Structure 1
């Protein structure tokens, strides 16, 4: 019996899932490999970190998503190396899988620009584990402040600093400010949560630098109205558990969150090629590795350019388009359709929310801000969620939060690890 063509897709994110779902052909077997068992809707991850949504509403078991695809098998494993000569992917536990075509869609992780020791003091937000850890830090800081009898310690506990003013940073500080100003006000007795200091720090000249300046200015103004202190043109020079340093100014902050940069996975190392400054793998116009048409690299892992020479942005819609393109390309190789030629990214717009009543939306000639943009943002995100149950659950959570000002997922989980204990309560 003739062996089927073996396609191995590494990564169960937007790009990997889009590729698998779009690729269905006779005599093709697909293996999807991911180190976790779930697909994550990353654009709403910050809402788990800030108590709006539970984890189950933005993540789905990969096996469940592909249960009807008998041509697909799923492996939960961590990739350690790629043997291009023998066309085999090796796992950290000693296992491996052979491929005829390999698709690397392994995403990105936080970048501390050479200061990786800052990660323990200022965690980033890329996984469900990151989100629940940040939620624990934020809520535990309020709890510790309630117990503290030292004004300076209490002030440090109630100072929250987010580094990086892209969409994630803006969305994080907006919700943290709302928590302090609205949701928690009546629940504490020894502290006034409205006295919390929420900072957004950006090394560049403005927030949301990828958006038009008019929308950037609106976002900065909306954040200030929420009580957020916006510090632009100010790089972080040091970060530790005591706080952050901006130039020579030290700001005591027991809760810091990193949203300033990303770097690609270790795919470039697996392939033995030099990555770009962010570690991404340079690819040809059809998203293949130079000299290796059997290896595709997509999503945040790839340094891809559009027909006009501009880089393809590392966002979810781009990864999905690339995954679907790879599927079309492979179908063309199997003689099932016409060759799509080069990859062309079609920008569908940029969205960012600022709290629960305002947002900005950039659709090229159409630019929206305020409440209308917030509704557009919400509808767009609900539309792209997987499954009717999740769409309804998220919509109900948002409506409740919008109407009541309350957050529905304010649970401190994962045991006692990382609780910010006030120093005044610790026996000397």
Structure 2
């Protein structure tokens, strides 16, 4: 009789697990709140009006249209019963499993200030990206209609909170939008009127990178016109701006990227978690007391060779998904389980057009070559030939013309 494998989450870990089980005699059910797999590393480019949502997302059903042992369920998981091996959905349905792979991802951590979320959206979903994109475009339109330079200043001010890769990439993209690519289409506002702030509570940005890349990243941003505020914790966020120590930056354009917390679904497992809610798993990624329940991706606390937790990056999730697919196949053949070992192939972050930093197994690159390497790798990992071709074409067009392709506002008014 076929075993039932339930995968919660259609991200990198979930998709790669299912793909590894393509040729096995198991029934796979993928459950996700959305109907698409999202290539999150390029989500900021949707927010920055460089790419369309369809360029970096693909329906999960389309990915597995030829894999007949996969069923896709659109729904929200509300409960997990470890003992009865069942998963409960919001619509009242229950699914039984022999193996459960829990890969629900993470969400942004506002450190107890949940009211900040409505004023400073994070960047975890397509709807987040579209919200940020429309805020940026709407502010430019608003500023264009104000004759007084002092009164239009807030609409030409942008604040990005968090100096990690997402914050840096977003700040660089906004700098390109505000200071070059779109300004030629406006008549009343000038590039030098824009102000872009990157706020970081620590003493440096891109802390996952060793020097000199971190400092090179900061200098590149500053050369692009971004003011980097280090050791500057946020005191408060309001609809009209951000309060930091000693100053209030007035703007409606605020993006949050200052830290993540694991999906609240992990609490359903009733296992030990770390300070950001990730499940502490065994070396084979299973949870204590239940060898058939696994946690992967951003929701799993797994240590590297140095004893530090693995970062919440796409390569980590991809490798864990492939590992779990192989582990389940070995289990069906009664083979001895292996332990997960992460192979670090490098870390990259793009800052802007022809600007990036990369650390590939100790070799450090920056500038055009790092940007080219970053682009090729990201195109390679996109699912579907159509997506790869469209993204490549958009990037070439943007590189040659400095023009952003997707600049539509769907909102009817500022408050909608």
TM range (shorter): over 0.9
One of 240, 243, 259 as aligned partner of 2:241: 243
Alignment of 1:347 with 2:344, yes or no, is yes
CA deviations 1:82-110 (Å, max 9, x no partner) are: 01121110011211211111100000011
Aligned partner of 1:369 in structure 2 is 366
- Out of 176-185 and 267-276, give the one that drifted further: 267-276
Give the Cα–Cα distance (whole angstroms) in 1 for the partners of residues 300 and 229 of structure 2.
32
Alignment of 1:397 with 2:401, yes or no, is no
Q: CA deviation at 1:148?
A: 2.4
Give the Cα–Cα distance (whole angstroms) in 2 for the partners of residues 307 and 328 of structure 1.
22
Alignment of 1:357 with 2:357, yes or no, is no
Q: CA deviation at 1:145?
A: 1.1
What's the RMSD between the two structures over aligned residues? 1.4
Aligned partner of 1:218 in structure 2 is 216
- Out of 25-34 and 408-417, give the one that drifted further: 408-417
Aligned partner of 1:140 in structure 2 is 138
Aligned partner of 2:160 in structure 1 is 162
Give the Cα–Cα distance (whole angstroms) in 2 for the partners of residues 33 and 415 of structure 1.
34
- Out of 263-272 and 295-304, give the one that drifted further: 263-272
**Alignment partner of 1:284: what SS?**
coil
**Alignment partner of 1:345: what SS?**
coil
Alignment of 1:180 with 2:196, yes or no, is no
CA deviations 1:385-405 (Å, max 9, x no partner) are: 112221111111001111111
CA separation of 1:79/1:58 partners in 2, compared to 1, >3 Å: closer, same or farther? Answer: same
- Out of 244-253 and 15-24, give the one that drifted further: 244-253
Contact 2:271–2:288 (8 Å) recurs in 1: no
Give the Cα–Cα distance (whole angstroms) in 2 for the partners of residues 410 and 154 of structure 1.
20
One of 26, 37, 40 as aligned partner of 1:39: 37
Aligned partner of 1:424 in structure 2 is none
Per the normalisation by structure 2, the TM-score is 0.97
CA deviations 1:118-145 (Å, max 9, x no partner) are: 0011000000000000000011011111
Contact 1:31–1:72 (8 Å) recurs in 2: yes
Contact 1:23–1:331 (8 Å) recurs in 2: yes
Alignment of 1:310 with 2:308, yes or no, is yes
Contact 1:104–1:298 (8 Å) recurs in 2: yes
Give the Cα–Cα distance (whole angstroms) in 2 for the partners of residues 307 and 25 of structure 1.
32
Aligned partner of 2:207 in structure 1 is 209
Per the normalisation by structure 1, the TM-score is 0.94
Aligned partner of 1:276 in structure 2 is 274
Aligned partner of 1:4 in structure 2 is 2
CA deviations 1:213-232 (Å, max 9, x no partner) are: 20111111111111111111
Q: CA deviation at 1:365?
A: 2.1
Aligned partner of 2:319 in structure 1 is 321
Contact 1:124–1:130 (8 Å) recurs in 2: yes
One of 89, 92, 113 as aligned partner of 1:91: 89
One of 297, 300, 304 as aligned partner of 1:299: 297
Contact 1:184–1:193 (8 Å) recurs in 2: no
CA separation of 1:335/1:414 partners in 2, compared to 1, >3 Å: closer, same or farther? Answer: farther
The number of aligned residues is 416
Give the Cα–Cα distance (whole angstroms) in 1 for the partners of residues 100 and 412 of structure 2.
40
Give the Cα–Cα distance (whole angstroms) in 2 for the partners of residues 285 and 255 of structure 1.
43
Aligned partner of 2:60 in structure 1 is 62
**Alignment partner of 2:212: what SS?**
helix
Q: CA deviation at 1:340?
A: 5.1
**Alignment partner of 1:186: what SS?**
helix
Give the Cα–Cα distance (whole angstroms) in 1 for the partners of residues 244 and 222 of structure 2.
19
Contact 1:89–1:98 (8 Å) recurs in 2: yes
